[in-house]
Amino acid sequence: MNKKLISINKLSAGTKNHQILHDISFDINECEIVCLLGQSGSGKTMTALSILNMLPVNVMQTSGTILYDDKPFNENMRGSFISMIMQSPASCFDSVFTIGAQFKDILISNNKEYSIERVCSMIEKVELKNPHDILNSYPFQLSGGMLQRVMIAIALSLDSKVIIADEPTSDLDIAGQKEIIDLILKLKNENKSILMITHNLAVAKSCADKIAVMEQGRIVDFFNKTELFAEKRHRYTKELISANNWLYENKWDIDLGENNAEM
Amino acid sequence: MLKCENISKIYNDKSWFSKKESIKVLENISFHLKQGRSMGFAGRNGAGKSTLMRIILGLEKAEEGSVIFMGKNIHSLKYNELKNIYKDMQVVFQNPQSSMNPQFTVYDVIKEPIENYYNYKKDEIKDIVLNLLSAVKLSEDKLYKNIMHLSGGEQQRVAIARALSVRPKLLILDEALSSLDMIIQAEIIKLLEELKEKYNLSYLVISHDIRIILKLCDDIIFLENGIIKDRFFIEQGINNPSDSFKNMMIV
């Protein structure tokens, strides 16, 4: 059996008068993609932030433990053990510095070796052409998909074991989404574990090994991808599936997508 | 109802230092939308979909070509006449939050266009607003809530209700569903299908998600790099699509 890299046990968090997360428990194993699936406001991002110990100021963890490779949290783990790809890449980069400068900054502050060749090879790994041009450009000169790739390249070069990807596909069009999913599947082959946050069942279905469905701050369902259509699924999961299937039906009588056929 | 002929749009790069560049974002776009049908513009990011929508709305001028809506050329109209056009043509934008005044309540948002276009008494306006709310399936107790206290799906419903309040014949949906999650997307598509029957609407749907377009539209135009690559009509189905259109179909 694969080693547990992160294990979350009965995590609850909230503000003074409003509880956001209720009894969240799940594990992330080595070389595994876990998907947190849920509507906006269901607490997916909060869960990710509590794993990073980066909750907003007014939100506190009220109970529960999170173990990282059987050890409690310490500051050095960010970057070396766990890293995060943020939701909207356009707002995560500083627009007055070039991509290259920011890349260097992140590597050096995390005590990683920095060399142009290494950075370029990382950028090539995420299937971007002309790495030198990209390093010399400013964030607003790149498209959303390119920034998302740069973000993945940075996470990759930090060499952390676990990568949290918060809605990596939501800003992109459908072809772009597919490319990013392929890239994430490639990361898995490089012995990374990934916690993927998404509201899109099709995205979850195409890349996850395990899916955790969240509704109003609770994990209502947790299962292997293969059991997605099992009878015992939670009411909410079934709702998601039927909404998803309904979107694929149309008056043109067109069968959409390979993914649909795989289901 | 809506006829576009040979629309071309060029953006000139007016920067001081680099040499002058002009980029052709739309080239020779012509189409004809008939009454009672709905049309969808599909395409990847940067294909020119939104520019085309802004030209149809008269928010931007095209270098060449004309937009004729209900027999009137939009680009030769004065402000007052344009206002009358918007009585028949309304738009719902991608991000409902940024298209509504954050200090307004739901009631304020929906009544504003009614007051602009019609002379109703106060209680008549309230009746109309309540009718619209029930048409978009929002409960009455949301009426005096601040718009920012609603969820994204609810805000989008308010935006649709506002657009419907002047009883338009054509409703333009510019990526209106892309920022919502799946269950709400499905709900709103069902709602739009109902509204189409009820108010005899035509839609002009702009989206990168082919599923939404196939759900709502009878005609599809596929744009790539500013030119019309494919054109489909529901009667003929999808015949010999280009490779890039096939890529869009793999969702």
Cβ contact, residue pair B214, A250, below 8 Å: yes
- Taking the CA of residue A39 and the nearest CA in chain B, the distance in Å comes to 6
Residue A136: other Cβ atoms inside 10 A? 13
Measured between beta carbons, the chain B residues lying within 8 angstroms of A143 are 45-46
Q: Report d(CA A224, CA A211) in Å as an integer.
A: 6
Cβ contact, residue pair A39, B181, below 8 Å: yes
Structural domains counted in chain B: 1
Give the CATH number, domain containing residue B95: 3.40.50.300
Judged by DSSP in three states, B147 sits in: helix
Please check whether residue A198 is in contact with residue A20, taking contact to mean a CB–CB distance below 8 angstroms: no
Residue of B nearest to A144 (CA): B45
B61 phi and psi angles, rounded to 5 deg: -95, 145
A240 phi and psi angles, rounded to 5 deg: -60, -45
Mean pLDDT of B124-143: 89
Burial class (CB in 10 A: 0-12, 13-18, 19+), A76: exposed
Cα dihedral across residues A104, A106, A109, A114: positive or negative:
negative
Cβ contact, residue pair B214, A252, below 8 Å: yes
Q: Which of B151, B131, B147, B202 is nearest to B173 (CA)?
A: B202
Stretch among B15-29, B91-105, B191-205 having the lowest mean pLDDT: B15-29
Residue of A nearest to B247 (CA): A175
- Taking the CA of residue B209 and the nearest CA in chain A, the distance in Å comes to 7
Q: What is the pLDDT of residue B246?
A: 81
Domain that holds residue B214: 2-249
Q: Report d(CA B95, CA B152) in Å as an integer.
A: 9
Residue A12 has pLDDT above 70, yes or no: yes
Residue A263 has pLDDT above 60, yes or no: no
> Half-sphere exposure of residue B148, counting CA atoms within 13 Å on the CB side?
5
Asked if B44 reaches chain A (Cβ–Cβ under 8 Å), the answer is yes
Count of positions (residues) in chain B: 251
What percentage of residues in chain A have a pLDDT greater than 70? 97
Tokens 């970057």 locate to A79
Q: What is the pLDDT of residues A22-70, one digit of tens each?
A: 999 999 998 899 999 988 778 888 899 999 888 888 888 999 999 998 8
Asked if B237 reaches chain A (Cβ–Cβ under 8 Å), the answer is yes
Asked if B78 reaches chain A (Cβ–Cβ under 8 Å), the answer is no
How far is residue B24 from each of residues A104, A130, A184, B74, B239, measured CA to CA in Å? 37, 25, 35, 22, 28
DSSP annotation of B146: B
What one-letter code names the amino acid at A59? V
Residue B100: other Cβ atoms inside 10 A? 22
Query: Where would I find the H helices in chain A?
Result: 44-51, 77-80, 99-109, 116-125, 131-135, 144-157, 174-189, 201-207, 235-248, 258-262
What percentage of residues in chain A have a pLDDT greater than 90? 25
What one-letter code names the amino acid at B94? Q
Q: What is the pLDDT of residues A162-188, one digit of tens each?
A: 999 988 887 777 777 888 888 889 888
Q: Report d(CA A121, CA A119) in Å as an integer.
A: 5
- A223: CB partners within 8 A, 6+ apart: A210, A211, A230, A233
Q: Report d(CA A98, CA A94) in Å as an integer.
A: 8
* Element at B115 (helix H, strand E): helix B106-117
Mean pLDDT of B158-173: 91
Asked if B241 reaches chain A (Cβ–Cβ under 8 Å), the answer is no
Q: What is the ipTM of this complex?
A: 0.74
Q: Report d(CA B46, CA B65) in Å as an integer.
A: 21
Q: Which of B149, B151, B150, B153 is nearest to B185 (CA)?
A: B153
Q: What is the pLDDT of residues B15-34, one digit of tens each?
A: 666 666 778 889 999 999 98
Judged by DSSP in three states, A59 sits in: coil
Q: What would the DSSP string read from start to end of A203-239? A: HHHHH-SEEEEEETTEEEEEEEGGGTT-TT--HHHHH
Tokens 């994430």 locate to A184
A153 phi and psi angles, rounded to 5 deg: -60, -40
Chain-centre distance for alpha carbon A179: 15
Residue of A nearest to B187 (CA): A243
- CB–CB contacts below 8 A, A to B: 79
Q: What is the pLDDT of residues A102-139, one digit of tens each?
A: 999 999 988 888 888 989 988 988 888 888 888 999 98
Q: Which of A26, A18, A12, A21 is nearest to A64 (CA)?
A: A12
Cα dihedral across residues A129, A131, A137, A143: positive or negative:
positive
- Taking the CA of residue B217 and the nearest CA in chain A, the distance in Å comes to 9
Q: Report d(CA B239, CA B230) in Å as an integer.
A: 9
Q: What would the DSSP string read from start to end of B27-67? A: EEEEEEEPTT--EEEE--TTSSHHHHHHHHHTSS--SEEEE
Q: Report d(CA A136, CA A152) in Å as an integer.
A: 18
Backbone φ/ψ region at B41: left (φ over 0), alpha (ψ -120 to 50), beta: beta
